[in-house]
Structure formats: C-alpha cells, structure tokens
Structure 1
Amino acid sequence: MAPLKLSLACWDYDRVKAIEDGRVRPEGIELTFLNLRVEETFFRQLRYQEFDVSELSLSSYVFTLNSPNPPFIALPVFPSRMFRHQSIYVNKKAGITHPSQLAGRPVGTPEFQMTAPVWQRGILQDEYSLQFDAPHYYTGNVEPSNEERAEKIPLALADSVKITRIEKGKCLAQMLADGEIVALESATAPSTFGTHPDVGRLFPDAKTVEQEYFQRTGIFPIMHVIAVKRSVLAANPWAAQSLTKAFASALDYAYDAIHARGALRYILPWMQFHVEETQAALCKEGDGSDGKWWQDGLTAQNRRTLDKFLEYSFDQGLAKRRWQVEELFAPGSLEAFVL
C-alpha cells in the first residue's frame, strides 16, 4: 500500500528536527516538511488552509472551533511553550510599578486573539487583579512594516473590550518608547527593548517571577499545537495516532541532544548547568515528569495548563463555549501515549 502523502508546515524546532531530517518517519505517511516561521504558517493556514498538517496558535485553533464546521483538529503535541511574564514591556516613565496600574491606560498588543496576550491578560487578572478588559488596547505591527497587521480571524467581543487599530505607518515598538502606549503585551520583544532607555520589562526579575508562578500553579504555558485538517483524518483516521507517535519520538531525540556531553550540540557553553537548573525548577520527585520538563500528551500538568487556557479564552470572549480539554484532540491521538 502506498504511503499517505501529507504536507507539514512547522518551524524547525529541536523537538521536530528528527521529523524534518527523516530520522523519524510516521508509519504509513510520507511527510513533506515545510520549514516556515510561525507567523507565515499561521496566516497561510488560517486564511487559506494550505497544509495538511501544521503548527498552529493554540488560541487561533480554539477560536476556529466556534465554526459550525471547524477545519482543523489538534494532536496533543505542543511544539511551542513559553512563560509570558517576561514578554510584557513598559515605558519606564509611565510610573507602572504594579500591573493593576494598567487599568484605563493604553496598552499595545499585536492581535487580541494571539495566544501570548490571552495568557498575559489571564495571568494579570488572576494574579494581579487587572481585569482583562480594563486597559484600552492598541493593535498592529510591533515593528515598522509596509503591511498593516490585522487580526487573522475576525472577532466579535463584548462592548467592554476597547480596541483601536494603530494608524498606518506607526508601530507598537516606537509607540512604547515614545509613551503613546504605556505597556506592550506581546510574544516578541520590541526592537526598542535594550536599545531605548525608557523601555523595560513590567517584571524586571521575570525569571524569578515565572518560576514562582510555576511553583504556585504548576502551569507551563502552551503556545502552539499541531493541527490536522479534519478532511484528512476523516479519510484516514489512523493517521492521528501515527503522527502523534512520530512527534513523541522526535521529542526523545531532542532530549538526547540536549543531554549530550562529549561535545556541545548547541552554542551555549553552560548548557549542562542550564539543564540542571531547569529540571530543578520544573521537575519534582513523584510528579511523573521523570526529569522531562517538556512533555506532550495529556499529562496532569498539560491538562491543568490547557484547562486554564480554555478558561481564559472563554472568559475573554474568544471561545464561544467553555471547551473541555479532551474535546480539542483527534480521536486516536491520545492513545498514542499509552500504547
């Protein structure tokens, strides 16, 4: 039987590199790996559904479930995770010493529905009593661009949410430096951070804040999922399990590489100490992690993390109903972790 030919659009993370270079091949599937940066993948997939399988923003994926006929269904594979306290920036002259002071103030965000700002708004509400709809949001390009940035998916939000698109020719990075906005909630760092004296982090000691947040909540925020066209799985339901198992094998290769000590695979001279520090911060004896701080599947930690995100998505008016974690994933994909 000829293999099923599928396209996969994903950035070449260390945890998928073995799929890209062919060391891991999903059973019964011939993959064409398209190494694309995330913004291009998201735009092309959400607007045009170009790829059979793709990396996709968790928030955008959940938002697509509002459709009567959702185009995608996810696998429990999480190629991107990141603590997001570190990605909130402020104008130092604005006098912001506590997140609650952002209420009623102009705050930039590239897109309201992006995964990173959904997490940031939710965390600031849960942890610092800043209601998600308290700031006045300004959306658009973080950096100068000839193309105006708009929401990839049209939104219908509550009247309490105040959003203004920035003027053509402006960018949020410079607006932050100039004080036109007092803060920026983003995934990427603005170019004015580290180059302009008035731009800094909301949480100057973000690493400590993020580690304390994890100790309290057990949440390591998930940013992206791997999503498959429903039409592909309708015709080939077995492919969900095959793909999921392949991603699990590729993640094992990433751990092998990061633990290598004979020679450094990465240009970080103190890699071993960073790994030890990460394990100490994110893995505890008896938590089931077995020293692996980045796991796919529905582990207890992943379930807790996804459930919190689904709460935020619904509360912020993005998801039209409160989804349950299992509803996000393709039948057969969860079984890949128990076989």
Structure 2
Amino acid sequence: MTTAHLDIAVTRYDNTRGLFDGSVAFDGLDVTLHSPAIPEIFAGLVSGRFDVAEFGLTHYLRARDTGSPDLVAIPVFPARAFRHSSIFVNTSKAITGPADLTGRTIGEFGMYGQDSGIWAKGILSDDYGFAPEHNRWIIGGLETPLPAPFAFTTHPHPDAVEVGFAPPGRTLAEMLDRGEIDALFASNAPTPYLAGSPNIAPLFPDHEARERDWYRRTGIFPMMHTIVARRELFEARPTLSRTLFDGFLTAKNVAAQRYREMRKLFQVTTMVPWMYHLFEENQALFPQDWFPYGTAANRTALETFLRYSHEQGLSAASHTVDELFAEELRNT
C-alpha cells in the first residue's frame, strides 16, 4: 500500500544521506525529499509546504504552547552538537570566563532562545551560575542582515530579560568583530573568526576538553532538532509514524556502520587528518550507538532541554518527554 504523496524536508546530513541517494527508502511511501536552508525548512513546515520536516525543538515547544496541537514529533534527532564551543567573545572586552559575561551585551541568531542558545545558557547556568536576565540580548542575522525576527515562530521571553534587535543592515558577526556586542551565542562559527580575526575568540579555548568532561558527567549529547509532521497524517495512516521512524533510523544506522567499516581504512573516506584517531577516541567515550534515536536513550537529554527551556522562561512547565512524540513511538 502506498500513501498519498508526501513532501519531506531535512538537511543532507550524513545520517540522512541514504534517503537522498536512494539506498534507504520509507517503506510503502511515495515521497519527495527537499533540503533547502534550515530556516526555509522550518518555515515550510509551518506554512504547509512540507508534510514532514526537520524542526527545532524550541519551535516545536512554542507551537504546542500556543495551542497548535496539529504538529506531532517522532523521536528522530538528526542534528546534535556540543555547545561550549558555540560561545564567542570580543577579545577587547576582558572576558576570560563565564563570570565575565555578567552585564554584557550578547548576540543571538534569529530569536532569543534558539535551540543552541537554550543549551548553551542552560549549561552555563548549571555549571557556572550564569543568569541570562543579567545581560542585554541582541537578535539578528549572523552573516546576513535579518529584517525581522523569524516569522514562523513565536518570540516569548521573560520580562526581566532585555531583548533588542540588530540595527538595519547589520549582522551579529560584524558587530562582534567591531566590539559592538561583547559576546555571541551562535549555532555556527562567525565568518570573521574563521578568517582569523584577532577580535574574536571562543569563550572556552579548551572547549573540547570541557565538552568531553560535561558528557562524562551528564551522558548528554545535545540535540537541536527533531522530525515533525501534521497530526492529521498520522490519524489517516496509523502506521505512518513507525514507517517514518524506521526510515530515518535505518539511514542513520547505515551512516554509523560506514564509519565503523572505514576503521580498517583509517577513515580515508574523509579529508580530515587523524580522523581515525578521533573516531577511536570517541569509541572509548561513547556507547556503541553514539547518535541514538527513540525516547529511551534520549530521555535524560530531552528532560534537560525541557528544564532549560522552562527555566529560561520560554516554555510551559507541564511538558513531559512522552507527550511530545507520536503515541506509537513512546516506548522506542
């Protein structure tokens, strides 16, 4: 049995490559895969352009908080990143550690409380006592001026948090480089930093060591996005959530197995020197499935994200992990 045509939008990660090259299929589904820029994916899901799409966890929570129960997630998490490494500072501002962020003007891409920002603020709060309300936040585009905050989501923030918007035609990357903001919580590294600007540095130069220590203590590999579809699709075809989950899971497992098999070739399928050593080092730290899907292996990470989101005044207190996902997949 083949369902009506579905438009599915997701980034071309290595864990989704098999879906795009045809080596992995969604059983019995007639689909077209799309991979525009992430903001376009998110906006396309909300507008109805896409039936199934990658979606930021914070956007999903906000949709639910504003009475939009028509969106339902499946416990697939295609994008993960540790976030000590995503905080940058201007080198002229005498910021040498988290304590020096108090009272500063900090940039954040697109909105206050995007997925990477929620994780970074929460981690700093847990480990260093960071309090976002003690700062002024500037929202804008990272490399391209953003005329207005993202229209596909809501923009809550506590009254105690001062949130402004970047001046017209300005980007957060250039504002950080010029010292017009003191720090930046980013999902991507700013271009001036990558180009070698002496004006920008990571808050934690030893971020990898800190991230590894944080993982040892928490067991959390932070996820940013999940996969979301409209409830009516699941109601019309009760097996759809499982079919989607299995397709994404298979594509991810194929990618993971590719890394394991390339150990014997010293990971020469990548252009990164010493990738073999990095993979071996990670094998010693992470479980066999280091990029898990499903609710069981991700419960601690999800509960932590929900706590951070609530503590930062961005979502309701009543969310539980199980209520977020299609009922058929709550025991995965």
Is the shorter-chain TM-score for this pair beyond 0.5, marking a shared fold? Answer: yes
Give TM-score, length-normalised by structure 2. Answer: 0.93
Instruction: Answer yes or no: is 1:330 the counterpart of 2:326.
Output: yes
- For residues 73 and 113 of structure 1, what CA distance do their matches in structure 2 show? 21
Which of 95-104 and 306-315 deviates more? 95-104
Instruction: Answer yes or no: is 1:98 the counterpart of 2:101.
Output: no
- For residues 330 and 319 of structure 2, what CA distance do their matches in structure 1 show? 17
Q: Secondary structure at the match of 1:193?
A: helix
Instruction: Give the structure 1 partner of residue 179 of structure 2.
Output: 179
Which of 158-167 and 16-25 deviates more? 16-25
- For residues 36 and 274 of structure 2, what CA distance do their matches in structure 1 show? 29
Instruction: Give the structure 2 partner of residue 79 of structure 1.
Output: 78
Deviations 1:176-226 (A, max 9, x none): 111111100010111111431010000001100100111111111111101
Give TM-score, length-normalised by structure 1. Answer: 0.91
- For residues 2 and 127 of structure 2, what CA distance do their matches in structure 1 show? 53
Paired residues in the alignment total: 326
Deviations 1:312-335 (A, max 9, x none): 111112112331111110111245
- For residues 198 and 157 of structure 1, what CA distance do their matches in structure 2 show? 30
Q: Percent identity?
A: 33
The AA in structure 2 aligned to 1:305 is: A
Q: 1:37 to 1:151 in 2, by over 3 A?
A: closer
- For residues 173 and 115 of structure 1, what CA distance do their matches in structure 2 show? 19
Note the C-alpha offset of 1:30: 1.5
- For residues 105 and 242 of structure 2, what CA distance do their matches in structure 1 show? 46
Please report the RMSD computed on the Cα atoms of aligned residues, expressed in angstroms. 1.7
Instruction: Give the structure 2 partner of residue 115 of structure 1.
Output: 115
Instruction: Answer yes or no: is 1:312 the counterpart of 2:314.
Output: no
The AA in structure 1 aligned to 2:315 is: A
Instruction: Answer yes or no: is 1:272 the counterpart of 2:276.
Output: yes
- For residues 144 and 241 of structure 1, what CA distance do their matches in structure 2 show? 39
- For residues 268 and 101 of structure 1, what CA distance do their matches in structure 2 show? 35
- For residues 45 and 112 of structure 2, what CA distance do their matches in structure 1 show? 19
Are the aligned partners of 1:89 and 1:202 in contact in 2 as well (CA < 8 Å)? yes
Write the mapping of 1:173-252 to structure 2, written as runs, cut at 5 A.
173-194=173-194, 195-252=196-253
- For residues 98 and 267 of structure 1, what CA distance do their matches in structure 2 show? 33
Q: 1:246 to 1:297 in 2, by over 3 A?
A: same
Q: Secondary structure at the match of 2:30?
A: strand
Are the aligned partners of 1:10 and 1:37 in contact in 2 as well (CA < 8 Å)? no
Note the C-alpha offset of 1:266: 2.6
Instruction: Give the structure 2 partner of residue 295 of structure 1.
Output: 292
Note the C-alpha offset of 1:269: 4.2
- For residues 20 and 245 of structure 1, what CA distance do their matches in structure 2 show? 15
The AA in structure 2 aligned to 1:259 is: R
Q: Secondary structure at the match of 1:18?
A: helix
Q: 1:28 to 1:119 in 2, by over 3 A?
A: same
- For residues 211 and 45 of structure 1, what CA distance do their matches in structure 2 show? 34
- For residues 105 and 275 of structure 2, what CA distance do their matches in structure 1 show? 40
Deviations 1:55-105 (A, max 9, x none): 011111111111323231111100000001101000111111221221211
Q: Secondary structure at the match of 2:134?
A: coil
- For residues 88 and 302 of structure 2, what CA distance do their matches in structure 1 show? 25
Deviations 1:217-274 (A, max 9, x none): 1111111101111121121121001111111111111012112336533323433222
